[in-house]
Amino acid sequence: GALVYQYPRRTICKSGTSMRMECQAVGFQATSVAWYRQSPQKTFELIALSTVNSAIKYEQNFTQEKFPISHPNLSFSSMTVLNAYLEDRGLYLCGARLGGSYEQYFGPGTRLTVL
Amino acid sequence: GDSVTQTEGPVTLSEGTSLTVNCSYETKQYPTLFWYVQYPGEGPQLLFKVPKANEKGSNRGFEATYNKEATSFHLQKASVQESDSAVYYCALISNYNVLYFGSGTKLTVEP
């Protein structure tokens, strides 16, 4: 079956520092990967949509300068949170879309705490 | 832009009672509609999807009908169990290839 792994599951960083998180699709080819942030109120914010061989599309309020994404192949994507502050806290979710379908599979998330 | 609105929670039910979570959507495209479920400490899991209007999706006793005229996709279950306690999200994907979620409805089922 389709599985999505995210690493690390939890991370703590000091205010102003950066941290990188990874997303791995196993058992299927992910033609696109969407990164979301889930707030403590459980709402989802779409950060960016990354499609292999296409430009990464960032949503309003999110920029490449703050959240650079690498998507080198159909099974791996990474995102860095640069210069993290308190407002960047939350659960970062990676949703990998199965090629040829609209189904999107999610990893368990990376929970970011900023001190 | 595309958007999804669903029943505000939390919702608390007794085991064996019926569940309805309302979902309505807005889009200028012809979307595929989804219900996701999220358990504590996990990412959202696909419950089921319905790509075509007037069709019904179902899984684990949950079901929803894609009503294009009413732009609705209400989630129903006839008899909930304690293990159904989770947060439920209605979502849509349109030609923009982006999955948009509703705000989620937290369900607690008491024994």
**In angstroms, what CA-CA distances link A9 with A2, A31, A63, A71, B97?**
19, 23, 23, 19, 27
pLDDT of B96 > 70? The answer is no
For residue A8, whether the previous peptide bond is cis, meaning omega lies within 30 degrees of 0, is: yes
A 10 A CB-CB count for B9 gives 16
pLDDT on residue A27? 86
Q: Which residues contact residue B40 at a Cβ distance below 8 angstroms, ignoring those fewer than 6 apart?
A: none
**Surface-to-core class of residue B1, CB atoms within 10 Å of its CB (0-12 exposed, 13-18 middle, 19+ buried):** exposed
pLDDT on residue A37? 96
Report pLDDT digits (tens) over A23-59: 999 988 888 999 999 987 778 999 999 987 788 999 9
Average confidence (pLDDT) over A16-21 = 96
Q: Which residue has the higher pLDDT, B67 or B97?
A: B67
Percentage, residues of chain A above pLDDT 70: 98
A42 in B contact zone (CB under 8 Å): yes
The helix/strand/coil state of A16 is coil
How many CB pairs lie under 8 A apart between chains A and B? Answer: 46
Closest Cα partner for B55 from B63, B66, B44, B47?
B66
Classify residue A75 by its DSSP letter: T
Question: Which residues of chain B are within 8 Å of residue A6 when distances are taken between CB atoms?
Answer: 43
pLDDT on residue A10? 96
Report pLDDT digits (tens) over B5-19: 999 889 999 999 999
Average confidence (pLDDT) over A67-71 = 94
Report pLDDT digits (tens) over B25-83: 999 888 999 999 999 889 999 999 999 999 999 999 999 999 999 999 999 999 999 99
Average confidence (pLDDT) over A76-102 = 91
Question: Which residues of chain B are within 8 Å of residue A41 when distances are taken between CB atoms?
Answer: 103
- In chain B the first and final C-alpha atoms are separated, in Å, by 41
Residue from B97, B103, B105, B107 to probe the interface with A (highest A Cβ count within 10 Å): B97
Question: Which residues of chain B are within 8 Å of residue A104 when distances are taken between CB atoms?
Answer: 46, 93, 99
**Yes or no, beta carbons of A43 and B103 under 8 Å apart:** yes
**Yes or no, beta carbons of A107 and B43 under 8 Å apart:** yes
Which is it for the CA torsion B93, B99, B100, B102, positive or negative? positive
Give A95's Cβ-side CA count (13 Å radius). 27
In whole angstroms, give the CA distance from residue B103 to residue A87. 19
Report pLDDT digits (tens) over B42-51: 999 999 999 9
Q: What is the DSSP string of chain B?
A: --EEEE--S-EEEETT--EEE-EEEE-SS--EEEEEEE-TTS--EEEEEE-STT-EEEETTEEEE-BTTTTB--EEESS--GGG-EEEEEEEE-TT--EEE---EEEEEE-
Classify residue A98 by its DSSP letter: E
For residue B10, whether the previous peptide bond is cis, meaning omega lies within 30 degrees of 0, is: yes
**What pairing do the DSSP bridges indicate for beta strands B56-59 and B19-21?**
unpaired
Average confidence (pLDDT) over A93-101 = 85
pLDDT of B95 > 90? The answer is no
Average confidence (pLDDT) over A76-104 = 91
pLDDT of B109 > 80? The answer is yes
Question: Which residues of chain A are within 8 Å of residue B87 when distances are taken between CB atoms?
Answer: 42
